[in-house]
Amino acid sequence: MTNYWPRFTRAGFANSVAPIDYLEWYIPALQEAREHNLSFSGMQFEWNLSELLGNEIYDLAKPYIGDVVDPREIIANREGVDVENVLITHGATQGINISLLAAIAKIRDSVNGEITVAVESPTYAPIPQTALILADRVIRMNKSPPKEALGHWRIDRKEWQKAIEQSQIIMITPISNPCGWDLDLDDRDWIISTAQKNGVIIIADEAYNDAYRHTDSYRSIHSFGENCISINSLTKVYSMGPIRFGWIIADSATIVIARRIFMTFSGVMASPTMKIGVAALENLSLVDDAIKHYREANLPGLRAVLERHGIVWNEPPAGVFGCFKLPYDQDSEHFADHHCKANDLLVVPGSMFSDDLKNWVRVAWSIEPNKFKLALDALDKSLHSAITQKQVNKSN
Ligand SMILES: Cc1ncc(COP(=O)(O)O)c(C=O)c1O
């Protein structure tokens, strides 16, 4: 049987590189083009490119250098930093690669022995698996559902302290995938101060942060000072994944190194990416409004369906996805591959993010409300058939 969760060791892949297993499940599932889809962790917003670009649409393939707007300026303004603190990348995933390469470059000549990276779990597989390729050792640090069932997912500080003390670099995702919750504020401050006390570089994948930007306690990790690197992109919150536009924010010395690495590996950014990226950055409020609308329109129905099946729903206060535990400890891959499939519905099993989440399911309310209503009906039926089957099995 295939395991789909992210890897934290190179076991079985000596002299090689481990696969990104979850894509072996997710890509074929997407190719089935099921009628109902609650699997998107990213907002599904229909950008109108011809309206966004006007006649510039014909110049997409022409060089962007010399174009009037530098996207770094828009991002720097939004984040309260200078353009020297921003590097544009091809998506957050390339941001992960380049941040880690830059962090390693900064310490390589002063570390005696192995380079160790501590990475949060559950997670997006390219985070620990980039570290498996580039560093010598990866330590897993767990984030767990709250004991009281509702609220922020929490860390075990003793476990994290031990991991941080053994590492030179840590990698976190402040808005977690698949739970959709932001980092508890006390945990966040504790992680930063513990890392800083130990001289550890912090890399934060903030791909989902913009959905929390309007909340009171919002703060991006780069704002904590030197050696605090933030990664973001237009993929998830702003529905522009296919153009591969992302960025890194850090102190200017780190960005100088990151830029050299980017140029070494990628040369320059793709012109269509830069031109569409700038146009999107100038219109982000269109999507912010749509997210607000989707939350208001879609969440009441989701709450009602989950409640009807006796499922505890720990709803994140912002964003477009969350996760729940199936009743009777059911296996979520079986639920997605059989019960949901029978109702032409796609959801994401928690096992794509961690072996601890085999009974969890991620659902998103990132689609247009009429479509969401139909998908919710399919979820209702899938939960009903899964629970009935369990009850029948139990009584036999
Ligand atoms: C935490 C996290 N970061 C990054 C990404 C991908 O971002 P991008 O498309 O900008 O590379 C994902 C996608 O699932 C993700 O979950």
> Using one digit for the tens of pLDDT, what is the confidence trace for 238-254?
999 999 999 999 999 99
User: What ranges in 267-368 are assigned the alpha helix state H?
Assistant: 271-281, 284-308, 332-334, 341-342
Domain assignment present for residue 12? The answer is no
Does a structural domain hold residue 272? yes
Instruction: Give me the mean pLDDT over the 172-179 stretch.
Output: 98
For residues 276 and 306, state if they share a domain. Answer: no
pLDDT of residue 293: 98
pLDDT band at 263 (very low <50, low <70, confident <90, very high): very high
Euclidean distance between CA atoms 386 and 338, whole angstroms: 9
Q: Are residues 73 and 221 in the same domain?
A: yes
Domain assignment present for residue 13? The answer is no
Please give the pLDDT value at position 248: 98
CATH code: domain of residue 175: 3.40.640.10
| Residue-wise pLDDT tens digits, 7-25 | 999 999 999 999 999 999 9
Whether residue 356 is found in the same domain as residue 372: yes
DSSP letters of 64-103? -TT-S--HHHHHHHHHT--GGGEEEESHHHHHHHHHHHHH
User: Which domain-ending residue is among 283, 303, 331?
Assistant: 283
Q: Does any domain span residue 16? A: no
Is residue 151 in a domain?
A: yes
Model pLDDT, residue 391: 81
Q: What's this model's pTM, rounded to 2 decimal places?
A: 0.97
Pick the range with the lowest mean pLDDT from 54-58, 197-201, 328-332, 386-390: 386-390
Ligand 1, atom 1: closest residue by C-alpha = 124
Ligand 1 centroid to 210 CA: how many Å?
A: 13
Domain closes at, from 283, 311, 337: 283
- Are residue 277 and residue 181 in the same domain, yes or no? yes
Probe target for ligand 1 pocket from 27, 124, 175, with the most ligand atoms within 8 Å of CB: 124
> What domain range is 362 assigned to?
22-45+285-395
pLDDT digits (tens, 9 = 90+) for 372-393: 999 999 999 999 999 998 787 8
* Cα of 91 from ligand 1 centre, angstroms: 8
Question: For 111-137, how does the pLDDT look when each residue is reduced to its tens digit (9 = 90+)?
Answer: 988 999 999 999 999 999 999 999 999
Angstrom CA distances, 308 to 303, 311, 335, stand at 9, 8, 18
Q: Say what percent of the chain tops pLDDT 70.
A: 100
Q: Where is the domain boundary, 225, 255, 283?
A: 283
Long-range contacts: 192-200, Cβ < 8 Å, 24+?
Answer: 192/221, 192/224, 192/228, 194/160, 194/161, 194/164, 195/164, 195/170, 196/224, 196/225, 196/227, 198/164, 198/165, 199/168, 200/164, 200/167, 200/168, 200/169, 200/170, 200/227
pLDDT of amino acid 24? 96
Considering the domain architecture, whether residues 165 and 193 belong to the same structural domain is answered as yes
Are both 174 and 272 inside the same structural domain?
yes
Ligand 1: which residue has its CA nearest to atom 7?
A: 92
The answer as to whether 340 is a domain residue is yes
User: Do 171 and 86 lie in a common domain?
Assistant: yes
Shared domain for 60 and 27, answered yes or no, is: no
| Domain co-membership, 277 together with 364 | no
